[in-house]
Chain A
Amino acid sequence: MMLSPELINLITGGLGFLFTLLIFSYMLGDNPLFRIAVYIFIGVSSGYIAAIAWWQVIMPRLVYPLISAITSASMLNLGVLSSIIIAALLILMKASPHLTGVGRIVMAFLVGVGSAVALAGALIGTLIPQILATINAFDTNASSLNNLDPEMLINAAFVLAGTALTLAYFHFGARPKADGSLHRLALIEIMAWSGRIFIGVALGAVFAGVYAAALTAFIERISSLINFITGFLGNFL
């Protein structure tokens, strides 16, 4: 039996409407309706992710290449895939408390490779470029400063000041005074106080962004409710 697209839209729209209301019921506090909706979401998501793992990871990246290697008698590919299968089986041993140590070598390999990739990426992709960008804002050879654009110059000054002052805020080194109390240097103290302003502005921007994102999602859901009701009623009017 084939369902018509209109009927599918009606069913999916109805489910969307129902689950939106169930989730909105959390405004009244934690209740069974909200929990039912959450449990269904978790169950459906888990099932879908399991299907994705099988059809988009294990099958195309392990089973198909293995079949191909066997049919083509490629010993190199067969060896590589065999080692992958053995490694996967060793990690599966972690499910048993008695055999959990068997998968440590494979886990160590994965963690090592992951750490290396992350560290190299952070260094090359974030730290060095960000530091260079802060420095180069005042580079006299830079094209923006050749034009002596005051807006760019002020922007660069703000970026530099914000970076330095924010870093100063996280400088916690202090010296003991005669009365035993610990205090930062006066210059560092002033810089740290100024850094708090930049941190406050940054956190305010993040808060505004989070609110804007949540508000948009809320509007989209209300809009979908309205569209479903008007569409549903439109079928009968």
Chain B
Amino acid sequence: MVIRPIVSGFPPNMHKVPVFADHLMLAQRFEHPFSQELGLTGFGLVTCLEGEAQFMINDQRLLLNTSSFAVINRGSRLMINVDETPARPVLLFFRSILADVVAAEIFHRQSGHDKELSYAELKDYRLTEYVHYTHASVKEVLEQAIQLSQSCASFQALKTDALLRSLLQSLGQENYQAIAVSARLPVVKQSTRVDLYKRLSHTKSWMDEHLTEDISLEDYADMALMNPAHFLRNFKTAFGITPHQYMMERRLELAKKLLQNTRQPVQEISEQIGFDVLSSFSYQFKKQEGLSPSQFRKQVTTD
């Protein structure tokens, strides 16, 4: 992988569709405001490893910080704008051939499913071109890749590639799911389907980030730019579950992790994951797991 600064090292012939021989990462810490039109891009992702930056992907304006990232589809137009400094935006473009290989792997693995997706569909990442939250693992991979690409470690190029390949495979898998889920949406026009899916998924990702907060259906719907009834109906159609059920499942998953990996009292865990009343948490937990939180903890710690 090659790492270049965004300003000085951006070769003039790469301002148009860049087809890279290898992964390319553009990374730089800005001390002063900065803005640049980067033209058409390859397939990759953008984020910020320090501060925040605004990215214009086609006609979407996305503000990204250290806990969010966005995927960019091959051929999308990209512009970067850093208003507040210091900021360290990062742009990672995957090697085109490897991205195609990942799409081909998924294409062959899906054989036997009811509705097979085409290879061309799997190479198109426009459905995932929205702000993703819960950024920890992506951030970790990018930091590791930057560190590795500048290190004297053995097989440093091979290890960087392996790291980025694992990231690429996760995005490929996410894209596969996105295509399958979006197909359930009751719309005819493909552009409407893409737009609707992106708004629902962005909101779902935002829900993951605000799991423990008390947020109403109206707030979620606002986030998705829909009225509450429309949001509720489409969310359930796409993901097979209501927003409330989704939040409850995610909260209980978090509770299970805390019960298993910490010694926090059950009352404290209940409050931490957003329940006002302990009995309500215990009821929901038992309904899902068939055990009370204390029984669950005893069982997993004994095992």
**Is the pairing of A and B real?**
no
